[in-house]
Chain A
Amino acid sequence: MAGPDGRLDGAWAERWLRESARVIAEHREELIDLDRAIGDGDHGENMDRGFKAIVAKLDDESPDSVAAALKMAAMMLMSKVGGAAGPLYGTAYLRASTAVADSDALDGQAVAAMLAAGRDGIVARGKAQSGDKTMVDAWTPAAEAAVTADPADGVAALVAAADAAETGAEATKPLVARKGRASYLGERSAGHLDPGAVSSALILRAAVTAAESGSGAGGPGAGA
């Protein structure tokens, strides 16, 4: 049951995951370089491996709801990523999946609930706060911005969230890391973007792209 173009249903969620995989692969080197500056240099590679595994899974079977898609992504990321991003993103997708378990198609309110649950999952798992120079610095403004959009309009909520995540990621540059391996660098971590915040912004932008591209760009099962 594929809805009209732009409808935030299971087909959209599949397009979102495929588009995420595409942009992560495209930015793989950039994420590696960012992580090399302040971490262990594997973020781009790990994320690329995780999302490639998601795409392979999607080629096998199309999830029939947003919740099913997000839960599948959570499992794959936890299993395949290997670094801190695995449990962090995995928990985010898992909690997000629970938040939209009853939705066939997301309106603005459901998008906001999904992003807030994802953000809360990351905070619970990583115990980081805003300003610690982590992916929380992208997710918190994204979740807050989604609430300010028209509650009836899912796509508007995604656009607001993606814009805020990009601004939030950009704002990690001057910060001194207080969590994860970057925190071992202390003051030397300032002056670099946080790779997790950057990948989060890419993924949230991919959600918008997937919504705007309609059913055409989806993989098997995305269309009629």
Chain B
Amino acid sequence: MTPVGLLIVSHSARLAEGVVEVAAQMGEGVPLVAAGGTDDGGVGTSFEKVMDGIVAADTGEGVVVLTDLGSAVMTAESVLEFLDDEQRARVRIADAALVEGSVAAAVASRAGAGLDGVVRAAEEAVRGAEAEEPPEISEPSESAVLTLKNPLGLHARPSAVLAGRLSAYDVQVTVNGVDGQSVMALMALGAGQGQQLVVEAAGPDAAKAVRFVTAQVEAGFGEL
């Protein structure tokens, strides 16, 4: 699966490159592009660097843009105004804290989350998953009780794997009562090895979603 690309727009070239450096540790294989500073190396944002950066970061799965200060947002929005409709539909500007959001987005992208899932991971990174209401599931059509086998439990990577794939499904799903489509909510469970996970799902893809979670947990998320 091709990962969603990330474009880091900052007023400083060094800051943008630094954020890319940090996010790259968690986002192996994710296209990470820095667009920092003005064309002549000053402090500011460059329309052309952002335009070129979107093209460079787009693998066809789309690009999530993360920004620092307000004028970086405005520059990014101006670039979007110039893109054709098809390109523009694949670009999202995340309303996220730059560093935390970029790392969370890199993790989600690497785990295979689609465009919406990556944006959501970025935006939740600081706003906090606690603020997110879990989906209302009055009558789950599918459910499973699973035991975590992998030594590190439900840490960042497995959380991103689950949330990433589940956000691509048409499903309402909870894991131990929290939103299964939210990386941050799953991580916040702090579930360790040996702990039970109760998965409940409703909606057209409910069976597929529960099968996917079951398979991942039983395989120890590939960490066994």
Which A residues lie at the B interface, using CB under 8 A?
40, 42, 46, 78-84, 86-88, 90-91, 94, 125-126, 179-181
Contacts and interface: CB of A to CB of B under 8 A. Distances in A.
A57 to B, nearest CB: 15
B81 A91 contact: yes
B169 interface: no
B74 A79 contact: no
A91 B47 CA distance: 12
B45 interface: yes
B70 interface: yes
B48 to A, nearest CB: 5
B78 interface: yes
A87 B74 contact: yes
B22 interface: no
B143 interface: no
B69 A90 contact: no
A181 B69 contact: yes
Contact of B46 (A79, A88, A125): A79
Contacts of A179: 70
B28 interface: no
A87 B74 CA distance: 6
A42 B70 CA distance: 15
A179 B71 CA distance: 11
Contacts of B69: 181
B38 A91 contact: no
Interface of B: 38-39, 42-48, 69-71, 74-75, 77-78, 81
Nearest to B79: A78
A88 B74 contact: yes
A79 B71 CA distance: 13
A126 B70 CA distance: 9
Given A78-B78, A79-B39, A94-B81, A87 B71 contact: yes
A87 B47 CA distance: 8
B150 to A, nearest CB: 45
B43 A90 contact: no
B71 A83 contact: yes
Nearest to A81: B44
Nearest to A91: B78
A87 B39 contact: no
Contacts of B78: 78, 86-87, 90-91, 125
Given A80-B39, A83-B45, A83-B71, 16 more contacts: A46-B44, A79-B46, A82-B38, A82-B39, A82-B43, A82-B45, A82-B46, A83-B44, A87-B71, A88-B74, A90-B47, A90-B78, A91-B78, A94-B81, A125-B77, A125-B78
Contacts of B39: 79-80, 82
Contacts of A86: 44-45, 47, 71, 74-75, 78
